[in-house]
Structure 1
Amino acid sequence: MGRLVPAVTRAMDILELFLGPDDTLSAPEITRKLGLPRTTVHELVATLTARRYLDSVPGQTGRYRLGVRTYQLGSTYGERLDLAAEGRDVARKVAETCDETVHVAILEGTDVIYVAKVDSTHAVRMVSAAGRRLPAHCTAVGKMLLATLPEQDLRSRIESAEPLSALTDRSITDPDALLQHLTGIREQQIAVEERESNPDVSCVAAPVRNSAGQVVAALSISVPMIRWSDERQEELTQLAAKGAQELSERLGFGRGRR
């Protein structure tokens, strides 16, 4: 383990005070409870407030409560726990239907991380593992997730990844070609990858949404080329979309909508 940063540790100590019975705290109370210098507490509280980890309590000058960023972090953490558990269950159902390898993945920077995976029972199948990380632009799940990003965010991530790596000779490495390709995926809400991450495998992927309608993951079906055809692609495209829809509903998408 690397050296702990004292300022970060103290900031976390302040936030963790709110795990106790106190909904609100003042700077003097924080100073007393943690035994920190008054100036240090004021600087840390000011920083946490500026970053929305703490909020000033309306009508109570000098008192603070947890801010919206702590809620967002907690919600994201809980959502991903649900995503992994529900993703495995839905992936299992999809795999039982098509007997191909099914993944659920999230986007992190310019990579995808597989959070759930269910194998095909065929002797010839895609070899991978939950937790594996791959360049997003080389995979169906990654391209699906990149296509849902706001334009500025998308371009920023692509620029940060340049030069775009190639996993096979079919990987898209030209940024302009990738942007054009993603436009089609955004319109169709389905991503197809033919031998771009593995020379012997093709995949289809569909988006997974949370209760707010945001795309938080993608579900894919991976098929060895010996079982790949136009007819099989169409069949698996529909199945991936159906599986992604079911997983979205389990995460709360569509509840209360009319």
Structure 2
Amino acid sequence: MGRRVPAVSRALDILELFLEGDGTLSAPEITRRLQLPRTTVHELVTTLAARSYLVPVPEQPGRYRLGVRTYQLGSRYAENLDLAAEGQQVAREVAETCDETVHVAVLEDTDVIYIAKVDSTHAVRMVSAAGRRLPAHCTAVGKMLLASLPEDELDARLPHDGTLVAMTGNSITSAAGLRRALAEIRERGFAVEERESNPDVSCVAAPVRDRAGRVVAALSISVPMIRWSDERRDELARLAREGAGRLSELLGHRRRG
């Protein structure tokens, strides 16, 4: 790798500060937070403003916010994103870590469609394929996606009462039971499915967000029951959340806190 250019690194450090707080900063605040010389900060801020990466805040003299050039770069990045391709990349990374089958899926009405998949190398593993469609309420990815819907959207897609289709004897079959399960998922932050779509497989899933913070997909890890346990579930839930977080970052989402 080539040598990093300190001035470029400092300029990028300045820009990244604006991702925090209310999005406005003064030169003295930048100086204090980055521990840089005042002259260096003044020169860098002046250059960034001249190139429209920063602009003065009209009603707050001496303060700056991100300029239109940063928006243009972000928009171009977003235009080139491919959820399926990015999902396949992250699914491969997660599968290499846990050696289980990893999926990325999206919600369509009350079904999930798998858009990316990487197989486990174990002889005993889940058999599926990208493009497969399943009832959302029978899968971890589906329940994660349903739990992420606003209440009015969920009401439009699911009945408040009645019977839901079953794929196995463990499938949730009542609308009321599903709504209780979705409430638990929202509280927990990830979804679990134990033999609800396949009598020999259990799964965990975590939400994938876009740059606006909307849940646009879910990432799951599927495990044959011979390798499933409470400890394995918790370990895979952590890996699923980490993988979903990485995919979210590729889609432009920035985690707070």
TM-score (norm 2): 0.67
Figure out how many residues of one structure are paired with residues of the other and give that number: 181
Q: Is the 8 A contact 2:139 2:197 kept in 1?
A: yes
**Judging changes above 3 Å, is the alpha-carbon distance between structure 1 residues 80 and 109 closer, same or farther for their aligned structure 2 residues?**
farther
Q: Is the 8 A contact 1:137 1:172 kept in 2?
A: yes
Deviations 1:1-23 (A, max 9, x none): xxxxxxxxxxxxxxxxxxxxxxx
The match for 2:226 is: 226
Work out whether 1:143 is the aligned partner of 2:143.
yes
The Cα shift of 1:242 comes to: 0.2
Q: AA paired with 1:95?
A: A
The Cα shift of 1:79 comes to: 7.0
Aligned counterparts of 2:239 and 2:162: Cα–Cα separation in 1: 34
3-state SS of paired residue (1:102): strand
The runs of 5 or more residues in structure 1 that have no matched partner are 1-74
- What RMSD over aligned residues (CA atoms) do the two structures have, in Å? 2.0
Runs of 4 or more, structure 1, over 4 Å off, are 78-81
Q: AA paired with 1:103?
A: H
Aligned counterparts of 1:155 and 1:189: Cα–Cα separation in 2: 21
Q: Is the 8 A contact 2:161 2:176 kept in 1?
A: no
Q: AA paired with 1:113?
A: I
Aligned counterparts of 1:160 and 1:176: Cα–Cα separation in 2: 6
The Cα shift of 1:161 comes to: 10
The match for 2:112 is: 112
The match for 1:99 is: 99
The Cα shift of 1:163 comes to: 3.5
The Cα shift of 1:159 comes to: 2.0
Identity within the alignment, %: 72
**Judging changes above 3 Å, is the alpha-carbon distance between structure 1 residues 119 and 79 closer, same or farther for their aligned structure 2 residues?**
farther
Q: Is the 8 A contact 1:110 1:161 kept in 2?
A: no
Q: Is the 8 A contact 1:116 1:130 kept in 2?
A: yes
Q: AA paired with 1:138?
A: C
3-state SS of paired residue (2:212): coil
3-state SS of paired residue (1:159): coil
**Judging changes above 3 Å, is the alpha-carbon distance between structure 1 residues 187 and 115 closer, same or farther for their aligned structure 2 residues?**
same
